[in-house]
């Protein structure tokens, strides 16, 4: 694997600053100092602090989406797809807890900011890919009757709630301990 790009180094420095000081308390100067980048480089790559926040958010959800896409295979069974949604989410969060915390706490800010439309479009594209994969199983009768808008919440909701508690330090159990159980609960909740 090659050396991270300057842009990636700045984003990782920003994430470290946001994790240590909070998003609102972090200044562009703090990010500059942490990354070793010049102010000119920061502004060249991002333009302002809000765009750094947006870029970091998009990079995180993009990384998770790529991990999920890499696990999805043509002809995958309904149960395997549902389980993958849960296990991929847990695996990504465990590997990137600061990034996950950042994403969980900053969605509204990013949606309302300069990159909000980019985020909405990324979510629409990912949603379409998932919907196409699920449609085959839905048509085959593999899932119980649920409004499509509710399906994602039923599948990932319990896992997301547990992970939020773990990220906030409200549980000692590690998400990996319940990875397979949460995947089974998701499948049991939606199977026909």
Per-position pLDDT tens, the chain of length 192: 567 788 999 999 999 999 999 999 999 999 999 999 999 999 999 999 999 999 999 999 999 999 998 998 878 999 999 999 999 999 999 999 999 999 999 999 999 999 999 999 999 998 898 888 899 999 999 999 999 889 999 999 999 999 999 999 999 999 999 999 999 999 999 999
The pLDDT value recorded for residue 99 is: 97
108, 134: one domain: yes
Taking a C-beta distance cutoff of 8 angstroms, is the pair 154, 189 a contact? yes
66 and 88, same domain (yes or no):
yes
Indicate if 103 and 31 belong to the same structural domain. Answer: no
pTM of the model: 0.91
The pLDDT value recorded for residue 2 is 66
3-state secondary structure the chain: CCCCCHHHHHHHHHHHHHHHHCCCCCCHHHHHHHHCCCHHHHHHHCCCHHHHHHHHHHHHHHHHHHHHHHHCCCCCCHHHHHHHHHHHHHHHHHHCHHHHHHHHHHHHHHHHCCCHHHHHHHHHHHHHHHHHHHHHHHHCCCECCCCHHHHHHHHHHHHHHHHHHHHCCCCCCCHHHHHHHHHHHHHHHHEC
Residues 31 and 96 in one domain: no
pLDDT at 7: 93
| Co-location of 7 and 62 in the same domain | no
Q: Which structural domain, as residue segments, surrounds residue 14? A: 1-47
Domain end residue (candidates: 47, 65, 80): 47
The CATH number of the domain holding residue 30 is 1.10.10.60
Residue 132's pLDDT is what? 86
Question: What's residue 130's pLDDT?
Answer: 86
Total structural domains in the chain? 2
Instruction: Take residue 89 and report the two structure tokens written for it.
Output: 């989410």
52 in any annotated domain: no
- Which of 47, 65, 81 finishes a domain? 47
65 is a domain residue:
yes
Is there a single domain that holds both residue 13 and residue 40?
yes
CATH number for position 176: 1.10.357.10
134 shares a domain with 154: yes
Examine the domain organization and report whether 19 and 68 are in the same domain: no
């Amino acid at each position: 694997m090659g050396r991270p790009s300057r842009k990636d180094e700045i984003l990782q420095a920003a994430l470290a600053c946001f994790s240590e000081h909070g998003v609102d308390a972090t200044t562009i100067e703090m990010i500059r100092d942490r990354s070793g980048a010049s102010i000119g480089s920061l502004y060249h790559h991002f333009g302002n602090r809000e765009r750094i926040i947006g870029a970091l958010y998009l990079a995180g959800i993009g990384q998770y989406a790529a991990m999920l896409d890499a696990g999805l295979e043509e002809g995958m069974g309904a149960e395997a797809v549902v389980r993958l949604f849960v296990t991929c989410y847990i695996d990504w969060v465990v590997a990137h807890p600061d990034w996950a915390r950042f994403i969980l706490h900053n969605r509204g800010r990013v949606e309302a900011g300069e990159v909000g439309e980019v985020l909405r479009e990324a979510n629409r594209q990912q949603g379409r890919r998932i919907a196409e994969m699920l449609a085959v199983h839905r048509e085959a009768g593999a899932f119980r009757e649920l409004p499509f808008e509710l399906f994602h919440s039923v599948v990932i909701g319990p896992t997301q709630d547990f992970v939020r508690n773990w990220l906030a330090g409200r549980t000692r159990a590690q998400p990996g301990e319940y990875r397979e159980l949460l995947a089974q609960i998701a499948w049991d909740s939606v199977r026909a």
